[in-house]
């Protein structure tokens, strides 16, 4: 937990992983699984404790049920570090230290990729790579992305753990680790993309509306008026961005009397607005979570990557039954995805990538729109999680996307952290948590592609597997030869 924002003690991740991997060495697979699970449970329980706030403070569950559900949530995700430990213990041989460390790191990252990108629509929270956003390894991010930097971190930790376990003093391994960190440090300030066109002045509005007050019908007019008051002060900006569902009503309820007049004012002041609200799907009883641009270019983006247990219910009917027992009173299953290949929206005269809420946790939601997109926009509402570490973790994830793509990111949130991130992943302006505030700054539209933008996450995993096979070619030849001999002997 302390390796991640807001603490940013990135070196602790190397130490924690080294200790965890050391505990798996020469252990029976079942024991290694248990140690891996303990490590994962400690990590997820300390890093996801804010789930309790959502369930208890805003979900209406009783306190005991909220505690039990939070523990079960952490216990489930702890299975994945345990699975890594089991595979490592099951397949460990007396390989060369580098080969063995490479294998340990490969297993960890493949399992993490399965958790973060595939299972239950993906849950990438607390990936080890995010802890290195500001470390010496961060120079690798535009080249190999979050999973790649996580691989290097785990590889370094495995080298240390295996050396200690074998009680060897191998200075070449020490020099390899120093080289990896030094090279990453040397790449930190390298700029992979170029700015083009005019600079854009952007204002982000943080309304700071309490989650338990936001959707009360009697508060709707006041909330809209508050956002309008904050916006009127910044009609000199090229772009004004409101947070996720800042408009606490459906599109059809506010189009005529609010959105159309707002668009006219935006056009008169030559400002483009980026706002968000739910919208009823025309052909079903489901809803969309949308971003709408108003001004010179009206456009609409429908959220595509939905949040499990937040916008839809996976593992039905079991999950619904469990939440029913806990008396959780949140409508969790009324949204539908907007689909892939939606057209880019325009604001300030440039196209941008739109992400809503935790869509910014998935590089796969952003990379298909490059290199056309000039910058990134994320709107979110982290009010569900109170004054916890969650908003800081979420901003850290958003910063990773900016650095991976070499694009500025503007991020408007309901209660924080609202901010502007530059193309190197640095948070250059932000609003304080839980305050009504605006953030105004200048962003540069960017062009070009980072190496990672060209490779992508899945291809990176394939490349790592291929590299391991090359490193283990001698062992592979022996394995293939033994298999052929066995096949011949059976004939």
Active site residues per annotation: 244, 303, 357
Provide the 10 A C-beta neighbour count for residue 62: 12
| 426's tokens | 């640095």
Provide CB contacts within 8 A for 491, sequence distance 6+: none
Query: What is d(CA 185, CA 437) in angstroms, rounded to the nearest whole number?
Result: 35
CA distance linking residue 205 with residue 231, whole number of Å: 7
Lookup: tokens for 266: 């935006």
Residue 188: both structure tokens together = 């930190």
Tokens read off for 161? 């753990």
Q: Which of the 8 DSSP states describes residue 394?
A: H
Q: What is d(CA 351, CA 425) in angstroms, rounded to the nearest whole number?
A: 20
For residue 475, what is the enclosing H or E element?
Answer: helix 473-490
Please report the sign of the dihedral spanned by the C-alpha atoms of residue 99, residue 104, residue 107, residue 113.
negative
- Ranges of beta strands (E only) in 263-406 are 272-280, 287-294, 299-302, 345-347, 350-356, 375-380
What are the tokens at 274?
């980026």
Whats the size of the chain, residue-wise?
A: 491
Only one residue has tokens 């459906």, namely 250
With DSSP H G I counted as helix, E B as strand and the rest as coil, what are the percentages for the chain, rounded to 5?
55, 15, 30
Q: Closest by alpha carbon to 83, among 33, 141, 155, 151?
A: 33
Residue 257 DSSP code = I
- Taking every pair of Cα atoms in the chain, the longest distance, rounded to a whole number of angstroms, is 84
């Amino acid at each position: 937990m302390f390796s991640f924002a807001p603490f940013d003690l990135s070196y602790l991740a190397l130490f924690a992983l080294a200790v965890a991997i050391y505990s798996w060495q020469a252990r029976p697979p079942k024991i290694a699984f248990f140690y891996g699970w303990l490590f994962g449970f400690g990590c997820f329980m300390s890093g996801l404790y804010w789930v309790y706030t959502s369930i208890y403070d805003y979900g209406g569950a009783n306190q005991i049920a909220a505690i039990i559900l939070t523990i079960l949530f952490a216990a489930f995700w702890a299975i994945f570090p345990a699975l890594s430990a089991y595979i490592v213990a099951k397949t460990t041989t007396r390989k060369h230290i580098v080969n063995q460390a490479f294998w340990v790191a490969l297993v960890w990252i493949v399992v993490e990729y399965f958790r973060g990108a595939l299972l239950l629509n993906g849950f990438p929270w607390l990936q080890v790579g995010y802890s290195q956003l500001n470390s010496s390894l961060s120079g690798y991010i535009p080249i190999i992305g979050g999973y790649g930097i996580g691989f290097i971190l785990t590889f370094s930790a495995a080298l240390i753990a295996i050396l200690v376990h074998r009680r060897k003093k191998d200075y070449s391994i020490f020099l390899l680790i120093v080289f990896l960190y030094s090279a990453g440090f040397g790449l930190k300030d390298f700029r992979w993309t170029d700015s083009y066109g005019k600079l854009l002045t952007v204002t982000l509005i943080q309304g700071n509306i309490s989650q338990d007050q936001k959707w009360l019908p009697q508060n709707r007019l006041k909330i809209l008026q508050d956002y309008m008051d904050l916006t009127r002060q910044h009609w000199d900006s090229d772009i004004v961005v409101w947070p996720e569902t800042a408009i606490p009503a459906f599109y059809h309820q506010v189009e005529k009397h609010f959105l159309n007049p707002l668009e006219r004012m935006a056009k008169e002041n030559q400002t483009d607005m980026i706002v968000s609200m739910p919208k009823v799907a025309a052909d079903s009883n489901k809803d969309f979570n949308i971003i709408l641009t108003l001004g010179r270019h009206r456009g609409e983006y429908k959220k595509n990557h939905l949040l499990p247990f937040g916008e839809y219910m996976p593992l039905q009917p079991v999950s619904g039954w469990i939440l029913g027992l806990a008396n959780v009173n949140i409508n969790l299953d009324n949204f539908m995805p907007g689909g892939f290949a939606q057209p880019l929206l325009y604001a300030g005269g440039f196209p941008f990538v739109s992400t809503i809420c935790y869509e910014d946790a998935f590089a796969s939601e952003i990379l298909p729109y490059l290199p056309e997109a000039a910058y990134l926009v994320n709107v979110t509402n982290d009010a569900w999680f109170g004054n916890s570490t969650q908003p800081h973790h979420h901003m850290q994830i958003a910063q990773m996307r900016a650095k991976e793509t070499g694009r500025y990111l503007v991020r408007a949130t309901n209660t924080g952290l609202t901010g502007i991130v530059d193309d190197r992943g640095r948070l250059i302006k932000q609003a304080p948590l839980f305050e009504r505030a605006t953030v105004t700054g200048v962003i540069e539209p960017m062009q070009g592609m980072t190496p990672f933008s060209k490779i992508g996450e899945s291809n990176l995993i394939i490349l790592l597997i291929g590299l391991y096979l090359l490193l283990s070619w001698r062992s592979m030849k022996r394995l293939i030869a033994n298999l052929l001999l066995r096949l011949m002997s059976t004939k």
